[in-house]
Amino acid sequence: MKIGFIGLGIMGKPMSKNLIKAGYELTVFDLVAASVEELVKAGAGKASSAKQAAEKSDVIITMLPNSPHVKAAVLGAGGVLEGIASGKTFVDMSSIAPLASREIAAALAEKGVEMLDAPVSGGEPKAIEGTLSIMVGGKKEVFDRCVPFLSKMGSSVVLCGGIGAGNTTKLANQIIVALNIAAMSEAFVLASKSGVDPETLYKAIRGGLAGSTVLDAKAPMVMAGNFKPGFRIELHIKDLANAIETGHEVGVPLPLTSQVMEIMQALKVDGKAGNDHSGIVQFYEKLAKFEARKR
């Protein structure tokens, strides 16, 4: 199977490398030439546009920042739609608005192309390991055909419903992650300023009901003051904006999501938009005038 991969950022680069390691013939395209050259050295072919990547491939994968970027790469001039042929498959692994997924799928369907929306969770470490959680929307028969290569990038690949269901599930995931990090941050600053060593706190609670994958991934970063992404605050803002918009569309108020969104917006104003989302703790630390660091 020939796969075209468009978008070689923090996530797309290791994901595409895992496909090469698994033996797939890959053609890559990105606006950043250095990223393309890195993949070429790893064994990929190079395309000069999204259109050319589509012309050379049986399956096209996109991994881009947000809805406008995916729309431009697929529907814009020199995009996937111009190069993809009937009977081929398009898989968008970006985290975008469910409505945008359905709009793109409708345009592709007119050309006889099937689509899956398949956003991921797990961040850069799991992208490197090939152990991402992949949430998929689309037809079951298309999903079944794509599981073999999706499973080379993720350890969990779940069909969640029709087109848009993958991104809806991802939005739910991002709400839970954001609120978990905010709760952890609030608790760690409280305990630390009250005199409890944060590492002791972490060891004491991680085996109980408060323990979670989020806690295990983010508490060590907080204690070390290491906010290198990972998953940037500015990208989590994008996801929560999509969640709030979707909530408004379907009539579901999201008061806690809105609150953590404002915390992230405050950090953005403070120049921390490029920090890992574990950097949410800095909002609480600034209010409390105390850092929850390992001592």
- Please, which pLDDT band fits residue 21 given cuts at 50, 70 and 90? very high
Is residue 17 predicted with pLDDT exceeding 90?
A: yes
Do 91 and 59 contact (CB within 8 A), yes or no?
A: yes
To the query of whether residue 193 is one of the catalytic residues in this protein, the response is no
Distance CA 269, CA 11 (A): 25
pTM of the model: 0.91
CATH code for the domain in which residue 193 is found: 1.10.1040.10
**Do 126 and 42 have their domain in common?**
yes
Distance CA 254, CA 244 (A): 7
Predicted confidence at residue 123, as pLDDT, reads 86
Compute and round to an integer the Cα radius of gyration of the chain.
Answer: 20
**Do 266 and 188 have their domain in common?**
yes
CATH code for the domain in which residue 147 is found: 3.40.50.720
Structure-block tokens of residue 5? 């991969």
Predicted confidence at residue 147, as pLDDT, reads 98
Last residue of a domain, one of 166, 184, 201: 166
* Domain range for 220: 173-288
Predicted confidence at residue 22, as pLDDT, reads 97
In whole angstroms, what separates CA 113 from the centre of its chain? 24
Model confidence over 248-282: pLDDT tens digits?
Answer: 999 999 999 999 999 999 999 999 999 999 999 99
The answer to whether residue 162 is domain-embedded is: yes
| Rounded percentage of the chain residues whose pLDDT exceeds 90 | 97
Is residue 187 predicted with pLDDT exceeding 90?
A: yes
**Do 156 and 31 have their domain in common?**
yes
Structure-block tokens of residue 78? 């020199």
Is residue 230 predicted with pLDDT exceeding 90?
A: no
Distance CA 270, CA 120 (A): 28
The catalytically annotated residue of 88, 170, 218, 238 is: 170
**Do 136 and 228 have their domain in common?**
no
Last residue of a domain, one of 120, 136, 166: 166
**Do 157 and 177 have their domain in common?**
no
Model confidence over 90-129: pLDDT tens digits?
Answer: 999 999 999 999 999 999 999 999 999 999 998 888 999 9
**Do 127 and 11 have their domain in common?**
yes
**Do 137 and 248 have their domain in common?**
no
How would you classify residue 112: left for phi > 0, otherwise alpha for psi between -120 and 50, otherwise beta?
Answer: left
Distance CA 41, CA 30 (A): 15
